[in-house]
Each structure stands twice: as C-alpha cells, then as structure tokens.
Amino acid sequence: MKKEPDQSIVIFDTTLRDGEQAPGYSMTLDEKLRMARQLERLGVDIIEAGFAAASPGDFESVLKIASELKNCTVCSLSRALPKDIDAAAEALSRAANPRIHTFLATSDLHLKYKLRMTHDRALEQIRDMVAYARNKCTDVEFSAEDATRTNPDFLCRAIETAIASGATTVNLPDTVGYATSEEIARMVTDIRSRVPNIDKAVISMHVHNDLGLAVANTLAGIIAGARQVECTIGGIGERAGNAALEEIVMGLKTRKDYYGLTNNVRTEEIARTARLLTSITGVKMFPSKAIVGANAFAHESGIHQHGVLKNAKTYEIMTPESVGVKKTDLVLGKHSGRHAFSERLKLLGFSLSEERTEELFLQFKHLADKKKTVTDRDITALAESEGMSESTNTPRYKLESFVVTSGNKMSATANVILTRGDQMFQDSAIATGPVYAAIRAVEKIIAHPFSLDDYHLNAVTEHRDALGEVTVKISDAYGSYRGRGVSTDVIEASILACLSAINKMLEGASLGSGAASKMQHSFENDMLSAGHTDKTNLNSKLPNP
Ligand code: KIV
Ligand code: ZN
C-alpha cells in the first residue's frame, strides 16, 4: 500500500458539462457564465466548463468562463483525439489555471463495440494523447471511461500508462452507475497498491446514479484513498445523474468525525447555488431532495416539531443556516417598506442591482395588495424571474394589459397589449382555452412563429391566494428558449413566461441543442471523414460520457 494521501478533497464540479448534457438542463452562454461565477463563489476547486470540441457554443462557453474566472481551475473535456485536445487547449488559452480532461473507454465492451480497438491500441492512444495534452497544459486529467466494468489488470496498465505520459489526475468513472460500494473501494485500493507510479497523480471518482448509489459510491472511493470527487449541483447529469455536490460536501462536514477530511466549499453558498440552477433551468428540485429540497429542513410531524423546539439536535443533524437556508419569523405585507424588502432579499441570498431591487419592490407592493402576507417563497419566486430579464440592449416586449373571456360552453378569446420601447401593440386571438388564446395573441403581435414545447404551472405556496409560477420552453427554426413568469393570475404568469422566452428568442440567445447531441453530431462527422459513410449504423459507435 502506498503512502497515505493527504486529508483534503478536491471538489471538481461538472454541472456545466455532464450536468448540462442532461435533457432539460441546457443553458445559454450567459446562463453558464452566471452559474460558473456562483460555483467559484461556492468555492469549488475545478469547474468543468464544457466540452470545447463538441460545438462552437461549447467552445465559446469554455473560452468565456476560462477568461473570467481566476480563483479556480477551469477544465474542458476532450476525447483522446488531437483535434479535441487542440480545441480544449485553445478554449483554455486565457485561463489562469487550465486543465485538459481527456478520456478513453477501457472496458472490453466499449473497446470492442464502440471503439473497435485492441488493448494494445488503447494503451498506445492513452500514451500518445495524454502526452499530447501534457505538451499543451501542465494539468492533465485522464479518465478511463467505464472503469468499473474494465478488467482490473488492464485498468492498472491504462492508469500507469496515463501517469507515465503526464496525467496529474486519474479518474475512475462508474460511467453507467453499475458498481457496488465494495467494488468501488476494491478498485481504488487495487489501483493504489498495484500501479507503481500512482503517487504522482490524484485519484478521482466520477460516479453515475443509475442505481441510486452515486454519493455512497463516491464516498466509498474517498475512504479507499481517492482525493478528487466529480459532482454536480442537485446531482444533475446523464440519465439518472451524477453524485450530488451538496450531499458529498455536507456528508464530509456533518461526519467529519468519521471521514476526517476537509475541502474548500463554503457550505453557506449551497442553497443560493442550487436556487440559481433552478431559476436558470426552470427545473425544480424534488421537494425531499437531500440538502436542497424544499422539505429538507421542514419538520411536519408533531413529535418532531416538539423535539426540535426543545433541542434542534433531536431531529436536525445539520442546521439550515449551514447550507445557507435562512429562516425568519417576520412576514412582509403591504405596509412593509423598501428597506425591509431589500433586507429580506439579502437575507434570502440575492444580491441585486438597485434598479432590479426597485423593480421587484413594485412587484412586491402589487402582490401585497392582493395577498395578506407575502412569504419568503413568494419573494424568492419574484426575484428568481430575474434570470429571464437581464443584460440586453435590445428593447424587450413587456406586458401592458390583457383581457380574456372564457367559459365551458364557448371558445376563449384574448386581447393583449404589449409595449416594446416606446411603441405599443395590440392584437386578439381565439382558441380552445384562455392560455392558448393569450399566447396566440402574443404570437400575432411579435409576428415570429414559434412552437410551445413545454409548459409547467406550479403554485408557489399551498395557500388559496398562492402565486402561480409558469415555466415554458419555446422554439423557432434557430433554437429553444426558456422563460418563466409569476403572478397571482395564471394567465398573466403564462404571458410573462412566454414573453421572457420570446425576448431571448428575438435576441438569439438559444439554448443550443444539448451537449449530447452536439457530441453525437461531431462524432458522426469524425466517423464520416474517417471513411465510414454509412450513417445509419453510427449510434452504436457514439461516445457515452
Ligand atoms: O461518465 C463518464 O465516464 C464521463 C467521463 C467522460 C468522465 O462523464
Ligand atoms: Zn459522466
């Protein structure tokens, strides 16, 4: 057994790469930048900003994030191919601390069916491509894709070759979330005892959650000696996702007595980071999601409430404050002033411009006229709409007013008035329901056809006078765009959500088509340019990170 590894864990966040690959989580460049800034503030050590060779959009995101962030390492994924490594190196050229992350599958299954490669050829490719990457960047990570289903002897040879060629981190992914915790621990122990140069690299875990074991298996890897963990906010990622950052970090913190390990994450930023992800993507966390779900710190049963009131430790193993969930008994209402409102925004973790705070204050006042009390969840819902309305010089469409008539024995009609700069527009439409009619009227005004791909309506709180929160996804010939709107009137929330997406559409801030399909496209081109002209059978050869 090699010398004991040090006691600090490197947190490698892949929300913007593996996470963004998942359906429903694609982000615009501006959204990725906002997320990256918050991840840096959270204190992660490494941000995997994308897969530079996958598409021009991914290249641009890695480039922009690498140019801006100076306090953490910025990394790009690349297949073990010169052109991918070149793209990664170029996108990282302005990074203060760049890392190239290159991968090749090592399991027989992947080698035989996906790559059609022998063991010897794979070792050659690892040697050549890790050395190629190392020539361009001093910090190189090599991932043995599908490590947990790789023959252990071959895995040791692959890892030894990668380190001998210059890899400073070696990642052992459970790409398909198949392994048990014992198997993960055995794999790491095996690598540590059998790979002669293992002291020259950090061992990393990257575990998928197909059997719900991602966090448990990541922690099993740490106990066995891994010192880097690859994870995402909320556990988002391919299929069932990756290991959730917040669960790993709070596990290490809450059970420091057991793990005895440290890391650089500021746990008080966790709630804010998760909230930003939710507001950008429009995808809610499951209410009972550990650490960041709405119920994670709620005590409903009388026995629990009684215990917590007597001594919080009876049912609380960590405080809500330790992850940045701030509780307050003070309720805001229509007599609350600007100061109280902006203090509450700060307490809830929002740091907004004066202009935006003023805009929200007016919305809050409007809401307080309709509802007796305005809860923190209402204020959060209003403030999160910001994600849809920032940073543009183009005048945006705004809702001036609308009227709808609808009933169970008639068609719905909607009349909508919008403004854009100092212009005013009006149109009306008839449809089978009031939301549909309102959206059609909006579409007639903007004169730019789009399709509505996704529509969700949620109540922000449980009360009868709850705010309705609508999220939509629309698309035109150039891409997809998300929008979000909140109001006590669900038709108004629907129009606001559509306008938020429409303004992005007219600004051209497309979500792109998702890293996975971009990869697929680029891989197809590789295969075709390498002389494989039969496109029909390419799926079996696609990379599956
Ligand atoms: O799951 C996986 O194997 C990956 C690698 C590319 C690290 O995402
Ligand atoms: Zn992965």
Closest ligand 1 atom to Cα of 147: 3
Amino acid identity at 450: F
Query: What is the residue-wise DSSP string for 498-512?
Result: HHHHHHHHHHT---T
Q: How far apart are CA 301 and CA 160, in angstroms?
A: 54
Instruction: Count other Cβ atoms within 10 Å, centred on residue 259.
Output: 16
Instruction: Give whole-number Cα distances, 379 to 219, 282, 370, in Å.
Output: 36, 16, 14
Phi, psi of 137 (to 5 degrees): -155, 135
CB 320 within 8 A of CB 297: yes
- 397-511 fold: Double Stranded RNA Binding Domain (3.30.160)
Q: Which residues, judged by CB distance below 6 Å to any ligand atom, belong to the binding site of ligand 1?
A: 18, 77, 103, 143, 145, 171, 173, 175, 206, 208, 545
Instruction: Count other Cβ atoms within 10 Å, centred on residue 79.
Output: 25
pLDDT at res. 315: 82
150 C-alpha vs ligand 1 centroid, how far in Å?
Answer: 14
Closest ligand 1 atom to Cα of 18: 8
31 C-alpha vs ligand 1 centroid, how far in Å?
Answer: 23
Closest ligand 1 atom to Cα of 103: 6
The preferred substitution site among 145, 184, 230, 232 for testing ligand 1, maximizing ligand atoms within 8 Å of CB, is: 145
Which residue has 């809860």 as its token pair?
375
pLDDT at res. 393: 60
CB 253 within 8 A of CB 322: yes
Q: Would you give per-residue pLDDT tens digits along the chain (545 residues)?
A: 556 778 999 999 999 999 998 988 989 898 999 999 999 999 999 999 999 999 999 999 999 999 999 999 999 999 999 999 999 999 999 999 999 999 999 999 999 999 999 999 999 999 999 999 999 999 999 999 999 999 999 999 999 999 999 999 999 999 999 999 999 999 999 999 999 999 999 999 999 999 999 999 999 999 999 999 999 999 999 999 999 999 999 999 999 999 999 999 999 999 999 989 988 888 889 889 999 998 898 766 677 777 777 888 888 899 999 999 876 656 788 888 899 899 888 877 777 888 889 989 998 998 888 887 788 888 888 887 754 444 456 678 999 999 999 999 999 999 999 999 999 999 999 999 999 999 999 999 999 999 999 898 988 877 778 888 898 999 998 888 888 898 989 999 999 999 999 998 988 777 764 444 444 444 434 433 333 333 333 233 333 34
Report the CATH superfamily, name and number, of domain 10-281.
Aldolase class I (3.20.20.70)
Using left for φ > 0, alpha for ψ between -120 and 50, and beta otherwise, residue 65 falls in: alpha
219 C-alpha vs ligand 2 centroid, how far in Å?
Answer: 17
27 C-alpha vs ligand 1 centroid, how far in Å?
Answer: 20
In the numeric block, which tokens belong to residue 396? 């945006």
pLDDT at res. 3: 63
- Judging by DSSP bridges, how do beta strands 397-407 and 410-420 pair with one another? antiparallel
Burial classification of residue 449, based on how many CB atoms lie within 10 Å of its CB (0-12 exposed, 13-18 middle, 19 or more buried): exposed
In the numeric block, which tokens belong to residue 170? 């070696």
The preferred substitution site among 20, 51, 175 for testing ligand 1, maximizing ligand atoms within 8 Å of CB, is: 175
**CA-closest candidate to residue 249, choices 69, 53, 42, 391:** 42
Among protein residues, the one with the nearest Cα to ligand 1's atom 7 is 143
CB 36 within 8 A of CB 69: yes
CB 327 within 8 A of CB 312: no
CB 57 within 8 A of CB 512: yes
pLDDT at res. 534: 33
Instruction: Give whole-number Cα distances, 461 to 163, 343, 372, in Å.
Output: 53, 22, 13
Query: What is the residue-wise DSSP string for 228-255?
Result: EEEEBGGG--STT-B-BHHHHHHHHHHT
Among protein residues, the one with the nearest Cα to ligand 1's atom 8 is 545
pLDDT at res. 330: 67
Closest ligand 1 atom to Cα of 77: 6
Among protein residues, the one with the nearest Cα to ligand 1's atom 6 is 545
Question: CATH 3.30.160.270 residue ranges in the chain?
Answer: 397-511
Q: How far apart are CA 252 and CA 455, in angstroms?
A: 38
435 C-alpha vs ligand 2 centroid, how far in Å?
Answer: 39
143 C-alpha vs ligand 1 centroid, how far in Å?
Answer: 7
Instruction: Give whole-number Cα distances, 281 to 86, 176, 330, in Å.
Output: 30, 24, 30
Which residue has 């009933």 as its token pair?
407
Instruction: Count other Cβ atoms within 10 Å, centred on residue 121.
Output: 12
CB 512 within 8 A of CB 31: no
Question: CATH 3.20.20.70 residue ranges in the chain?
Answer: 10-281
The preferred substitution site among 77, 99, 146, 236 for testing ligand 1, maximizing ligand atoms within 8 Å of CB, is: 77
68 C-alpha vs ligand 2 centroid, how far in Å?
Answer: 25
The preferred substitution site among 141, 143, 149, 217 for testing ligand 1, maximizing ligand atoms within 8 Å of CB, is: 143
The preferred substitution site among 206, 229, 242 for testing ligand 1, maximizing ligand atoms within 8 Å of CB, is: 206
pTM for the model stands at 0.84
Among protein residues, the one with the nearest Cα to ligand 1's atom 1 is 175
Instruction: Count other Cβ atoms within 10 Å, centred on residue 23.
Output: 11
SS3 category, 485 = strand
Residues near ion ligand 2 (CB < 5 Å) are 18
448 C-alpha vs ligand 2 centroid, how far in Å?
Answer: 38
